[in-house]
C-alpha cells in the first residue's frame, strides 16, 4: 500500500521510531552499505518537500532483495544521502517490485518515484 500523504521525519531516530519493522540503520557504515537508487551517483531532485541537495531512494529494511533471495514487504524512503530528513514515499510494498519498477524507469525526481510506486503490489510474488 502506498502512503497517501508525504511523511517527513527530522531524524533517522524519528523515522525508526515510526517504522520499527523497516528501520534505516543507525550506524553510518551500515547506512552507506545499503544498495539504493541514486541516479548514477547524481542523486534525485526533491520536488515533493523541497529538501535542498541531491536525494537517494532506499528500500527498507535492508535494501532491495538480491536476485534469487526472498522478497520482503517494506517501506521506500528518500533522504539526502541517508541523512535526515527522511521522506516516506511508499509503505507496505514489495521491495523487489519497487526496486525493479524504479530502476527500469530511471526517474530523476522524487515525484516520479512516488508516482511509479503507486502501481507496485503490496504482496511479494511467491
Ordered by start, the domain boundaries in the chain are 7-117
Residue 4: the pLDDT is 54
Residue 71: the pLDDT is 94
Centroid of chain to Cα 43: 13
Residue range 42-98, pLDDT digits in tens: 999 999 999 999 999 999 999 999 889 999 999 999 999 999 999 999 999 999 999
Residue range 3-21, pLDDT digits in tens: 457 899 999 999 999 999 9
Q: Which residues are CB-neighbours of 86 under 8 A, at least 6 positions away?
A: 8, 9, 11, 12, 14, 15, 24, 77, 78, 79
User: pTM (2 decimals)?
Assistant: 0.91
Amino acid at each position: 500500500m502506498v502512503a497517501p500523504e508525504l511523511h517527513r521525519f527530522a531524524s533517522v531516530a524519528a523515522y525508526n521510531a515510526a517504522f520499527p519493522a523497516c528501520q534505516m540503520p543507525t550506524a553510518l557504515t551500515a547506512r552507506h552499505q545499503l544498495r539504493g537508487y541514486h541516479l548514477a551517483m547524481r542523486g534525485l531532485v526533491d520536488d515533493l518537500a523541497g529538501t535542498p541537495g541531491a536525494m537517494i531512494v532506499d528500500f527498507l529494511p535492508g535494501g532491495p532483495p538480491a536476485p534469487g533471495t526472498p522478497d520482503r514487504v517494506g517501506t521506500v524512503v528518500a533522504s539526502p544521502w541517508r541523512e535526515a530528513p527522511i521522506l516516506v514515499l511508499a509503505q507496505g510494498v514489495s521491495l523487489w517490485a519497487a526496486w525493479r519498477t524504479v530502476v527500469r524507469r530511471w526517474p530523476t525526481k522524487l515525484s516520479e518515484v512516488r508516482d511509479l510506486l503507486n502501481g507496485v503490489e503490496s504482496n511479494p510474488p511467491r
